[in-house]
Structure 1
């Protein structure tokens, strides 16, 4: 099972172009031994992912989105929430800030479980679902 301490290393391994930016982010935002704010790191990664897409630099997307799917399927509850509310929702927010991008453009990259969370987040913000905690299973 994937736990929070494993998330950033998994994501950086699947998106090597983010490694240097992540290292700079760590230096600029944390003191030695300080607790990491993973939701803030997810926002920074989301910005990087959307910039990659805008610049047609999607060669890392297959591995990256496989990892995001893995976080949803093999992560503990905290990891699943971080992957959806932390990362997917931040990707959506960055997309919505750019009139040239659409949410549907990223759907082809998502695995089935990640797509379910992606759609659920959209539905929650559109008022079609009153529960932000994830897709409800019957």
Structure 2
């Protein structure tokens, strides 16, 4: 179904956590701990906690939410405000790459769950960190 001008809703900063919680309900307790410690405004810190949560699920063999998380990140890239699009890349994707690769886990494993746009940003992060590019961009 195509969105019409009257039905289209750009995803804003306030929408991010509800969408992530819908994609991965087991993150709720970790999110509530984050809110107690930091409030609701430090979403880049929450992105690190989210990456650690996903890695914990993977290590336990629970991959059930990874497809829906990948779909949520794709929505952020396609339907998000400029802030949300940047957060999807620098907050979520980079957080997953960093947390997973520093915990002796294959940081590339998560990429199989990404949509086309998110995969382009994932690869851009890789070329940045390899030194092939001086900034993250498409």
Partner of 1:47: 52
- Determine which of 74, 81, 88 is the counterpart of 1:83: 88
Q: 1:27 is matched with which residue: 31, 36, 40?
A: 36
1:7 offset after TM fit, Å?
0.5
Secondary structure at 2:113's aligned position in 1? coil
Distance 1:107 1:63 in 2: 13
Deviation at 1:98, TM superposition (A): 2.3
Separation in structure 2 between the aligned mates of residue 46 and residue 104 of structure 1, nearest angstrom: 13
- Structure 1: gaps spanning 5 or more residues: none
RMSD over aligned CA atoms reads: 1.2
Distance 1:102 1:42 in 2: 18
Of residues 21, 25, 28 in structure 2, which corresponds to 1:16? 25
Q: Which runs of 4+ in 1 moved over 4 A?
A: none
Q: Is 1:63 matched with 2:68?
A: yes
Q: Which moved more, 1:59-68 or 1:101-110?
A: 101-110
Offset from partner CA, 1:100-120 (integer Å, 9 cap, x none): x22321221111111111110
Match of 1:115 in 2: 119
TM-score (norm 1): 0.88
Deviation readout 1:65-109 (Å, 9 max, x if unpaired) = 11111001110111010011001101101111122x223212211
- Number of positions where the alignment pairs a residue of Structure 1 with one of Structure 2: 129
- 1:131 equivalenced with 2:104 (yes/no): no
Gaps of 5+ in 2: 1-9
